[in-house]
């Protein structure tokens, strides 16, 4: 069958696909241009894509033979699953494998923001570290503080496990409450969102992007946070109203932030990069050699199994497609 791969994959993973199928691969870093995607998809049965490819009805209408969309990544707001389901196309993702790595990144941002790691690094490189001084780059303690986790799914729980090692008090707000045993194991208490915002020293976001979570953090929410608190976002940019956040950071409504994702990625809200009290990463939450390799393997496996007509391990719409048959 014919397969379109819109991203660079490890060569051994690409050859796994090429052993069974005819692959049109895009072996470059910038996202595949929409125009090219619309052109290349027309005769394909399989598609391996990622967050930078918007797979909507327009793309699907051009792909009458498409059977499987294997997303490289766990988030799937860029895929119109309903439109795919209507056409009987399986959609898969790569959950689980990036949980711990993304939690590491969230913790890296917590520590970097609170301990001013990036500012300090910049100062040293500029040759401005001339002497030790008692008030030089004073940050905030992380250990023993209160961590507020919004979204207690796999990644939120992995962040909570790390926070226990820092003797943090853990409060959380989530659509689904953990079972009592889970709360006990993580020493985490479920609280209303307002309580979390008012009490947490670090608010970390781990919700998917949905119509309900878009701009979950707006001016009202940021103003509820402590003026000494930090906001950490490794989830999705549009969960935060970025213009409001920039104003809040500038005016000292909150003390700082650590961001891996942006509202209009890769564009940034003007003013964000002028601020010293924010640490900025280029959406690299899952970017380790091990995790990105595993994501590629999982996406390829989902694709290959789906193209054989079997149930891919991580199919998001399998039941719905079976119902339609
Ligand atoms: C994910 O897996 O959703 C990452 O954010 C990369 O898309």
Q: Is the pLDDT confidence value at 121 over 90?
A: yes
Residue 77's pLDDT band, with cuts at 50, 70 and 90, is: very high
Q: How many Å apart are CA 186 and CA 42, to the nearest integer? A: 49
Residue 205's pLDDT band, with cuts at 50, 70 and 90, is: very high
Closest C-alpha to ligand 1, atom 1: 73
What residues contact residue 95 under an 8 Å CB cut-off, 6+ apart?
A: 74, 154, 314
Domains of the chain: 2-96+289-324 (3.40.50.720), 99-280 (3.40.50.720)
Secondary structure string (H, E, C) spanning 116-166: CHHHHHHHHHCCCCCCCCCCCCCCCCCCCCEEEEECCCHHHHHHHHHHHHC
Which candidate, 28, 36, 37, places its Cα nearest to that of 9? 28
Residue 284 Cα to ligand 1 midpoint, Å, equals: 9
DSSP symbols for 253-306: SSSEEEES--TBTTB--TTGGG-SSEEE--S-TT-SHHHHHHHHHHHHHHHHHH
Q: Is the pLDDT confidence value at 15 over 90?
A: yes
The model scores a pTM over 0.85 = yes
Mutate to test the pocket of ligand 1, among 74, 236, 295, 296 (most ligand atoms within 8 A of CB): 74
- Give the model's pLDDT for residue 33: 97
- Give the model's pLDDT for residue 325: 83
Do 191 and 164 contact (CB within 8 A), yes or no?
no
Residue 69 Cα to ligand 1 midpoint, Å, equals: 15
Own/partner pairs, 33-38, CB within 8 angstroms, 24+ separation: 37/4, 37/6, 38/62
Residue 80's pLDDT band, with cuts at 50, 70 and 90, is: very high
DSSP symbols for 68-135: EEEEESS--TTB-HHHHHHTT-EEE---STTHHHHHHHHHHHHHHHHTTHHHHHHHHHTT------TT
pLDDT one-digit tens code per residue, 215-225:
999 999 999 99
Question: Which secondary-structure segment (H or E) carries 195?
Answer: helix 193-199
Q: Is the pLDDT confidence value at 89 over 90?
A: yes
- Give the model's pLDDT for residue 100: 98
- Give the model's pLDDT for residue 215: 98
Residue 155's pLDDT band, with cuts at 50, 70 and 90, is: very high
Catalytic residue among 283, 292, 294, 301: 283
Residue 176's pLDDT band, with cuts at 50, 70 and 90, is: very high
Closest C-alpha to ligand 1, atom 6: 73
Q: Is the pLDDT confidence value at 7 over 90?
A: yes
Q: Calculate mean pLDDT across residues 297-322.
A: 98
pLDDT one-digit tens code per residue, 248-281:
999 999 999 999 999 999 999 999 999 999 999 9
Own/partner pairs, 116-125, CB within 8 angstroms, 24+ separation: 117/279, 118/279, 119/276
- Give the model's pLDDT for residue 144: 98
Whose structure tokens read 């008090």?
169
Residue 193's pLDDT band, with cuts at 50, 70 and 90, is: very high
Q: Calculate mean pLDDT across residues 56-68.
A: 98
User: Residue 265 catalytic?
Assistant: yes
- Give the model's pLDDT for residue 124: 98
Catalytic residue among 199, 265, 297, 320: 265
- Give the model's pLDDT for residue 53: 98
- Give the model's pLDDT for residue 108: 98
User: Residue 183 catalytic?
Assistant: no
User: Residue 126 catalytic?
Assistant: no
- Give the model's pLDDT for residue 324: 86
Mean of per-residue pLDDT scores for the chain: 98
Q: Which residues line ligand 1 (CB under 6 A)?
A: 51, 73-75, 98, 285-286
Q: What percent of the chain has pLDDT over 70?
A: 100
């Amino acid at each position: 069958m014919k397969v379109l791969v819109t991203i660079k994959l490890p060569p051994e993973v690409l050859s796994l696909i090429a052993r069974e199928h005819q692959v049109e691969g895009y072996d470059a870093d910038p996202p595949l241009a929409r125009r090219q995607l619309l052109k290349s998809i027309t005769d394909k049965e399989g598609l391996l894509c990622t967050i930078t490819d918007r797979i909507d009805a327009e793309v699907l209408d051009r792909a009458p033979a498409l059977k499987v969309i294997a997303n490289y990544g766990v988030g799937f707001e860029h895929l119109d699953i309903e439109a795919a389901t209507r056409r009987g196309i399986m959609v898969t993702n790569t959950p689980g494998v990036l949980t711990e790595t993304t939690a590491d990144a969230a913790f890296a941002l917590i520590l970097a923001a609170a301990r001013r790691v990036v500012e300090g690094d910049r100062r040293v490189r500029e040759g401005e570290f001339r002497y030790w001084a008692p008030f030089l780059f004073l940050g905030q303690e992380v250990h023993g503080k209160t961590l507020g986790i919004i979204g207690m799914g796999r990644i939120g729980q992995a962040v909570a496990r790390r926070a226990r090692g820092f003797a943090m008090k853990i409060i959380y707000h989530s659509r689904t409450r953990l079972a009592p045993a889970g709360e006990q194991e993580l020493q985490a208490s479920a609280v209303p969102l307002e309580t979390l915002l008012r009490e947490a020293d670090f608010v970390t976001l781990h919700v998917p992007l949905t119509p309900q979570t878009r701009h979950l953090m707006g001016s009202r929410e940021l103003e509820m946070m402590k003026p000494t608190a930090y906001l950490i976002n490794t989830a999705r940019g549009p969960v935060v109203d970025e213009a409001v956040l920039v104003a809040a950071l500038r005016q000292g409504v909150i003390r700082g932030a650590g961001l891996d994702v942006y509202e209009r990625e890769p564009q940034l809200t003007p003013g964000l990069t002028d601020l010293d009290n924010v640490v900025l990463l280029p959406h690299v939450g899952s970017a380790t050699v091990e995790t990105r390799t595993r994501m590629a393997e999982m996406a390829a496996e989902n694709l290959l199994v789906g193209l054989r007509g079997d149930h891919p391990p991580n199919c998001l719409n399998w039941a719905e497609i079976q119902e339609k048959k």
